[in-house]
Structure 1
Amino acid sequence: MLPLSTPLYRRRIGRIALDTAACFALSALLVASALAQDAAEKAAPLKLQLNKVETAGEACRITMVIDNTKGAGLKSYKVDLFAFDTDGVAQKRVAVELGPLPPRKTVVKIFDFPGIACNKVGRVLLNDVLACDGGDAAREACLERTETETKAGLPFDR
């Protein structure tokens, strides 16, 4: 703070400089906060839950819950899955489109592993993410942020 003996114009210039510096600091803080939030959203986990398996004729019907409650929306999210038998031998491969995935939303998708009964499936593997379109998400980044879990009584790995 400048003493009162300082001419008025110098005191005003000093005050303007302090106000300008405070505004600049606040702006920088807001920009840094927004960038940190964007980075956290991009790295937010995308959770795939093998929720239910049931026999549907000659196929094993899979109910998958996709939790995107912390991430940005995706127009397309296509995964490559393998079903292994109870001896650990790969039996069936399917590519499944699980998108579109709205931002901050959980969705349920149902699809079949054709030609294999559910009681013959010992494990499901998320082999790869084939497509991940939307926002700044790259396919490799989607694979990295994808987490798997199961409630279906058989392992679901990544």
Structure 2
Amino acid sequence: MKINVNGTDYTLNVPANTSLLDALRVNLNLTGSKYGCGEGACGACKVLIDGHATPSCITPVASVENKIVITIEGLEKDGQLHPLQQAFLDEDAFQCAYCSSGMIISAVALKAKNPNPGRQEIIEAMQGNICRCCVYPRIINAISKA
């Protein structure tokens, strides 16, 4: 099957029910999206699929044919971090950083819909993203300032 990830077309020889997360991490060596719960509940594996933050652990790779997939690695352009990546650094929103790629992906989807969300909108948009280190205030600040 053919998929487009971060602007590059790939042909994968994997079973259609392979999770997108496994295809990204194992077949394409894109390891920024993390395996967390395996149930689509924690947000660590989120990627953008046609602009929507989507848990890749429960998304069959066959379902993304003819769609655009963006991972955390695909946000950086020409050596420049995405503004949200930079904001997470600036606000010290990384502690263990396991959740960060999913958090940033969800924030990118939010900002694409609403460039200036209020605090409550940010909180609602980030539901389904769990941070075990509990740096939620810093995450909210980073999203607000990006």
**Bin for the TM-score computed over the shorter chain:** under 0.3
Greater fraction helix: 2
Greater fraction strand: 1
